[in-house]
Amino acid sequence: VSSLAKFIASPECRSIAILTGAGVSVAAGIPDFRSPGGMYDTLRPELITATAAQRRAMAADPTAVVLKDMFFANAFPYLEVRRPFILGTRERRWRATLSHRFAELLHAKTGKLTRLYTQNIDGLDYQTALPTEKIVAVHGSIGKVACEGCGAPMEFDAFCAEVRARIKDLYGVDSAAPAESTPIPCPACHRPLVKPTTVLFGSSLPAEFFERSVEDLPSVDLLLVAGTSLVVSPANSLVYRVPDSAVRAVINAEPVGQELGIRYSPGGRDLFLRGECDDTFLALMVQLGWADDLARLDAELPAASQKRLRALLAAGVGDDDFTTV
């Protein structure tokens, strides 16, 4: 961590790109759709507003809920399954973690953040003070809404009000929810195709990903890869599209990316920092002298991130304790 902090602070490091995955949001308590006990594992198609054929498709493969063809035929499976996540995002039920705050402080303190590429749809990066143009949501975001048909945007709060009033609750947690779902029309084209901008299976990634990566990567000096298995394409292409001179640092529970050309060897360009993303980013921010800035963000952190930070501060660690950079 110390050597990485020194490189970030050095004049040799001028441009930093970050690629994040689900690991950076673990401390926020974001529900995992795919793991045992998650929404897909507990899906009950018989409760969803759908035809018999559509229910059979979802029973055979729960990811049918997020298929493009399914959504255009019937928007209710997506909206009903995602209802608690959509409304929870509006209520800020989940908060940006220490890992998200690293990108925020990196930009504010050094000006070296060229772009944050996130594979997560949770929208937590937008809770930080990062300018939105610094963030590329590779797979879209639950916190932004547009029509899948005509592309017209819809204000998120207005969309959430429609979801609350028109989409039924499959999970029995909202007594005010309607008994039956009714369509949410697009304000522009009037078709019932408005949804968060999360990318449906069968749809193309946002053009912004391709445009920004072509613009950003040739000048990157450091690529930080955090909390991702690096198995999803084309997001994982960032690893081999940065210059040969760029340092690649992977923060993860286990080494990843070897099949993409990452080589973890002493003295090489590729670094591996094993552990939880929040723990590693906290250590990195302390090494960079940002502990006092983090203390001011304490009230905005989720409980798991607060616990880590408060333990550190209780130990008497502050910016004056670190002179490594």
Instruction: Give pLDDT tens digits for 106-164.
Output: 999 999 999 999 999 999 999 999 999 999 999 999 999 999 999 999 999 999 999 99
pLDDT at 88 over 90: yes
Q: How far lies 71's CA from each of 7, 186, 191, 193, 202, in Å?
A: 46, 14, 12, 8, 11
Band (pLDDT 50/70/90 cuts) for residue 320 is: very low
pLDDT at 174 over 70: yes
The DSSP secondary structure of 241-265, one letter per residue, reads HS-TTSEEEEEESS---GGGT----
DSSP label at residue 155: -
Segment holding 73, helix H or strand E: helix 68-73
**Average of per-residue pLDDT values in the chain:** 93
My answer on whether omega of the bond before 243 falls inside 30° of 0, hence cis, is no
Answer yes or no: are the C-beta atoms of 24 and 277 closer than 8 Å.
Answer: yes
CA distance 79 to 75: 6
Strands (E), 62-179: 113-118, 135-137, 145-147, 153-154
CA distance 80 to 247: 43
CA distance 148 to 194: 6
pLDDT at 65 over 70: yes
- Range 81-106 average pLDDT: 95
Q: In the annotation, is 190 catalytic? A: no
CA distance 274 to 30: 22
pLDDT at 294: 94
pLDDT at 39 over 90: no
Chain segment 243-298, per-residue pLDDT in tens? 999 999 999 999 999 999 999 998 899 999 999 999 999 999 999 999 999 999 99
CA distance 59 to 288: 50
How much of the chain exceeds pLDDT 70, in percent?
Answer: 94
- Range 298-324 average pLDDT: 78
Read off the tokens for 71.
């959504």
Chain segment 1-25, per-residue pLDDT in tens? 999 999 999 999 999 999 999 999 9
CA distance 40 to 63: 7
CA distance 292 to 279: 17
Segment holding 160, helix H or strand E: helix 156-166
pLDDT at 42: 76
CA distance 8 to 158: 41
pLDDT at 217 over 80: yes
pLDDT at 323 over 50: no
The DSSP secondary structure of 82-93, one letter per residue, reads HHHHHHHHHTT-
Residues 6+ apart with CB under 8 A from 11: none
pLDDT at 238 over 60: yes
Q: Find the catalytic residue in 100, 107, 139, 190.
A: 139
pLDDT at 318: 55
pLDDT at 314: 86
pLDDT at 316: 73
- Range 29-44 average pLDDT: 69
- Range 176-200 average pLDDT: 97
